[in-house]
Amino acid sequence: METKRPTVPAAEEILGLYHPVLDHGFVALIDYMGSDDSIERAARVSYGYGTRKRSQTRGLIRYLRRHLHTTPSEMVELKFHCAMPIFVARQWVRHRTASINEYSGRYSLMPLLFYRPDWRQVAPQTEANRQGREAAAVSEEIYRLALERWEEARAAAAEAYEWLLAEDVARELARIDLPLSTYTQWYWKIDLHNLIHFLTLRVHRHAQWEIQQYGRAMAGMLKRVAPLSYEAWIDYEVCGSRFSHGELETLRRLLVVRDGRIGARADIALGSAELAELGLSPREVRELLEKLEPAERPDFELDLEAFVTAEEFEARLSGAVPTELG
């Protein structure tokens, strides 16, 4: 039966297909409601459809995003099916603006799948802040020893889980010592405005690498559902920056505006003392310098050949259920 609701061919092409993330995880776009046109119609409260030029729709969406008029974007929703390690899920669930239904270890058997980081992702603690890791990996020897300890702990946890189940201990208790590397999954439905907020934080280079990979996959799916909103998000939030009063005063002292033209003031450089007078702390100065560095424009285009069917992932997950109870 032909649908009367708005559809997007690029989104329909990947609907229900599963994009692998990490070693056992995935993201799938299960459903969506609305498109860029839906945002325009909501903003104009218009019943007309298909009568506007694409350039007009693009201009309005960019204006709304630029000036933080966000409610029209809430009229578009995306629903995802995702599988991720529990430690990633705990970061993810901090975004309390989505509807979530997670896999239940009380009701169902937990597939014994554990995240195994690649060597390149096992790095020392960063000295720049209290969270995150350095760019360079640890030595191969440290990585080998880390894997040995991880695998030993996971094997013991899996063995205990299977033993408790075999002894008919309730599943809600049998699961309690499974590690944070264990994979869970959920359905996650969110409106476009809050998805953009989530992605802005989670594709950022300061986010944990593992959750960045999920953010990148979901950004590629957003690009297919609402390409004009995606473009505005990249321009204004991923590659753009907000400036504080002190930062703007810094720029005003370095620049001159005359006859509608912007130029650099000659022989002016602001040191730490002058910047402190403008209310900028040393950290704010570092952040301002980061904002002014050239930024590479990311492209979250999805590789269609990487997608697999729901049945393939279902086979992987069911095959990891404890064998004597599977």
Backbone angles phi, psi at 201, to 5 degrees: -75, -35
Which one from 154, 175, 202, 224 is the annotated catalytic residue? 202
Phi, psi of 44 (to 5 degrees): -95, -5
Number of helices followed by number of strands (H, E) in the chain? 13, 7
Closest CA to 138 of 125, 154, 129, 151: 125
In angstroms, the CA 223 to CA 36 distance is: 11
| Phi and psi at residue 296, to the nearest 5° | -75, 135
Q: Is position 116 annotated as part of the catalytic site?
A: no
Q: Give dist(CA 151, CA 238) in Å, integer.
A: 37
The DSSP secondary structure of 202-246, one letter per residue, reads HSSTTS-HHHHHHHHHHHHHHHHH-HHHHHHHIIIIIS-----HH
* 216: nearest Cα among 228, 232, 229, 200: 200
Q: Cα angle at 262 between 260 and 265, to 5 degrees? A: 135
Report the candidate in 241, 228, 191, 234 with the shortest Cα–Cα distance to residue 216.
Answer: 234
Q: What is the largest CA-CA distance in the chain?
A: 83
Pair 255, 265: CB distance under 8 Å: yes
- CA triple 209-89-136, angle to 5 deg: 15
**Which two structure tokens, joined as six digits, stand for 98?**
């989505």
Residue 22 region, left (φ>0) first, then alpha (ψ -120 to 50), else beta? left
Q: Which residues are catalytic?
A: 202
